[in-house]
Amino acid sequence: MHPPNLAAPLVLAVAALAAVALSSMLVRRMIRLAVMDVPGARSAHDRPIPRGGGVGMVAAVLLGVPACLAVLPGGAGRLLPAGLLLSATALLAAVSWLDDLRQFGVRAKFGAQCAAAALTVAASLASAPVWPSSWLLAPLCLLGFCWLMLTTNALNFIDGLNGLASGVSAICGVFACLLGLAVGDPLLAACSAMLSAGLLGFLPYNMPRARIFMGDVGSQVCGLLTGGFALLLLADTVRLAVAEMVPLILAGILWDVLFTLARRLRAGERLTQAHRGHLYQVAARTGLSHTTVAVIHWAFACWGGVISLALLPARPLVAAMIVLLPQLSWSATVWLRARRAGLSRWS
């Protein structure tokens, strides 16, 4: 760990305030632009709502990270990984926004996700002081790529209730920023701070009553960047137990997505078919308010962050078990509520 530097937190605090203001301004413009999300049979909302609120967060990251690196100690040494990471962000955001406008096919969206994930893996390699052995490099890159594809799609799948995905991503950014400062990585600290600040500028317009949705441009970029924080931590410390912090913070989202995937496979349902069978969706359908479900997931994220700081890297397995216990309890609670509400089919 590097000794604390008071200049870095001050720079990030000032930049974060500017990013909140920028994001808020752009969100208001997107509301006026009114690219509408028309509700369907499986939507959680019942009236057309503008989408594209994630544009404010993306702008905060793309503009705020270079500004922070220009003044943060050690920022000049992170220009190459920063360029790769911001290129991945811009590419995924652009394709996602165009998809919101024109409804691209699955191939175009999947191709953009793959390219963005590859660029993010390259950013983590460029950030690493020492590369692993050649026999280990390819498997690690493949695992990192698969991890990013998982987080990118998981945040997209979970973005169905006001404030859920954006709030969890903001919390993840706060904890990642703390670790970025602790390990002396200005790129990780700047990117996570700008992500959280951009989302804080968006959240008041989305929760509790939505004036705008984040859209794919926001949810997919949140997934890419939060997943990328784990790779940057791994590159900085060369310790999987430190990088485990991000999966623990995202445990509520990852559990929901993987649990739902396993349940639908077991039920013989088509995985490509739209559904309302995620745990968070079923919980809302049983009568829990959208705000309550979102705050529960915020609590999961905070719990994962606190356990990470307390137990990592010394006790990674114990930390994982403690973080997973609330997920088992939540799954049982939703199942019981669904039975009482008469929801025989979750989808």
pTM attached to this predicted model: 0.94
Same structural domain, 239 and 345: no
DSSP per-residue codes, 97-131: HHHHHH---HHHHHHHHHHHHHHHHHHHHHH-SSP
Q: Does 3 have pLDDT greater than 90? A: no
**Please, are residues 309 and 242 in contact by the beta-carbon 8 Å criterion?**
no
pLDDT one-digit tens code per residue, 166-223: 999 999 999 999 999 999 999 999 999 999 999 999 999 999 899 999 999 999 999 9
- The DSSP code for 34 is T
Q: Are residues 330 and 281 in the same domain?
A: yes
- Domain closes at, from 193, 225, 243: 243
User: Do 333 and 343 lie in a common domain?
Assistant: yes
d(CA 92, CA 86): 10
Q: Which helix (H) or strand (E) holds 50?
A: strand 49-50
How would residue 116 be classed by pLDDT, with cut points 50, 70 and 90?
very high
Q: Are residues 146 and 54 in the same domain?
A: yes
Distance CA 150, CA 101 (A): 24
- Reported confidence tier of residue 42, pLDDT bands at 50, 70, 90: low
CB atoms within 10 A of CB 295: 16
68, 204: one domain: yes
pLDDT of residue 168: 98
Q: Total domain count for the chain?
A: 2
| 208, 243, 278 - which closes a domain | 243
Report pLDDT for 103: 78
Q: How far apart are CA 225 and CA 208, in angstroms?
A: 25
Mean pLDDT for all residues in the chain:
93
Of 243, 269, 295, which residue is a domain's last? 243
Q: What is the mean pLDDT of residues 138-156?
A: 97
Residue 190 and residue 248 share a domain:
no
- The answer to whether residues 196 and 262 belong to one domain is no
208 and 90 within one domain = yes
Same domain, 17 and 138: yes
pLDDT band at 315 (very low <50, low <70, confident <90, very high): very high
Burial of 147 (0-12, 13-18, 19+ CB in 10 A): buried
**Residue 35 binned pLDDT confidence (cut-offs 50, 70, 90):** confident
Same domain, 260 and 318: yes
* Integer angstrom CA distances of residue 238 from 147, 173, 183, 229: 17, 20, 12, 13
Q: Are residues 224 and 335 in the same domain?
A: no
Examine the domain organization and report whether 29 and 166 are in the same domain. yes
Note down the domain range covering 262. 244-347
b/e 15-38 (16+ beta carbons within 10 angstroms → b)? bbeebbebbbebbbebbeeeeebe
